[in-house]
Chains A and B, each alone.
Chain A
């Protein structure tokens, strides 16, 4: 059964670095988004 799955591509160190940086950027963007939503919610609640 497991033979049906394609072998995952082997990444070069450079490709791994790019992928890691991209994952970190996505995580950071989500954190920033959460902070902005929180700030806007606070402002709207206080007003």
Chain B
């Protein structure tokens, strides 16, 4: 750990005496990931069995968002060496030399501790404990351990991105319940097709950086088959909220059509004849999977918060 802490991107670079601009620190928080975390945590809050004051919900969401951002900053601190090699990440504040690794580490640690304490005070300590575990899981288990060790990195590490709805439910109820667990599982199954599709397109980038992503280790065909397997599991599991009575007609329609789209693209990836077709389908999967997750969670949000719930008979 100390070796990573001491690593500098360019030993000959002049010492930074001012620190980065506000925008650089904001970039350390991975705002796009943070927005997804806010959204999924909000859905967790809304579908949770119980009520919460809007001020406490908003303050809790802010704490969850900052906690997610803090883990992003710690990830960028640890990954600065490989970020500098990959074209997708070379312009991030640390490899670009705008923020030192020490500053990013301090920033991440202060925000981690602050967000967990704030969530404990705002909501409850179960939610705060889950947030602390999520930060630990992303920064230590995924970034420091799994990412450079195994091609299953994003499968297990993806759990970190799946925790926010569980935290959201815990904010309301003070415990971990089925609603949060189901939403967790949907995001967990969604992660491999989403990231492996990107890894197929950026395979050379990951290879140069020495990150063992699935296409580089298991090969293109195996990755395509696994994308299909996870997509089938995701599309089938996405019907569980309907069976539980958590999702109604609107959710059923969205998840059916969205699932069909996901399966269609996964099939195109599986049957891609050459590298160009495979890359094209991979980018389609990367983009459409974001839309799919957004649509599915939006349907739940609309049903539970806008009174659009036309419930179906419960099967579970």
A binding-site residues for B, Cβ under 8 Å: 9, 11, 15-16, 18-19, 21-22, 25, 33, 36-37, 39-40, 43-44, 47
Contact = CB atoms under 8 A, between A and B. Distances in A.
A40 to B, nearest CB: 5
B59 A25 contact: no
Interface of B: 17-22, 25, 53, 55-56, 59, 62, 118, 121-122
B55 to A, nearest CB: 5
Contacts of B18: 11, 15-16, 18-19
Contact of A22 (B19, B56, B118): B19
A43 B19 contact: no
B17 A40 contact: no
A25 to B, nearest CB: 5
A36 B21 CA distance: 25
A40 B22 contact: no
Nearest to A24: B22
B59 A19 contact: no
B122 A18 contact: no
A12 B186 CA distance: 51
Contact of B59 (A9, A21, A39, A47): A39
B19 A47 contact: no
Contacts, number: 40
B142 to A, nearest CB: 27
B21 A43 contact: no
B22 A22 contact: yes
Contact of B21 (A16, A21, A33, A39): A21
Nearest to A15: B18
Contacts of A47: 53
B56 A40 contact: yes
12 contacts: A11-B17, A15-B18, A21-B21, A22-B19, A22-B20, A22-B25, A25-B22, A25-B25, A37-B121, A39-B59, A40-B59, A47-B53
B55 A19 contact: no
A47 to B, nearest CB: 7
Contact of A9 (B17, B55, B118, B121): B17
A33 B20 CA distance: 22
Q: Enumerate the 4 nearest inter-chain pairs by beta-carbon distance, A residue then B residue, closest first.
A: A15-B18, A9-B17, A43-B55, A25-B22
Contacts of A37: 118, 121
A28 B20 CA distance: 17
B4 to A, nearest CB: 25
Contact of B53 (A15, A33, A36, A43): A43
B62 to A, nearest CB: 7
Contact of B55 (A11, A25, A33, A39): A39
Given A19-B18, A21-B22, A22-B22, 20 more contacts: A9-B17, A11-B17, A11-B18, A18-B18, A18-B20, A22-B19, A22-B20, A22-B21, A22-B25, A25-B22, A25-B25, A36-B59, A36-B118, A37-B118, A40-B55, A40-B59, A43-B55, A43-B56, A44-B56, A47-B53
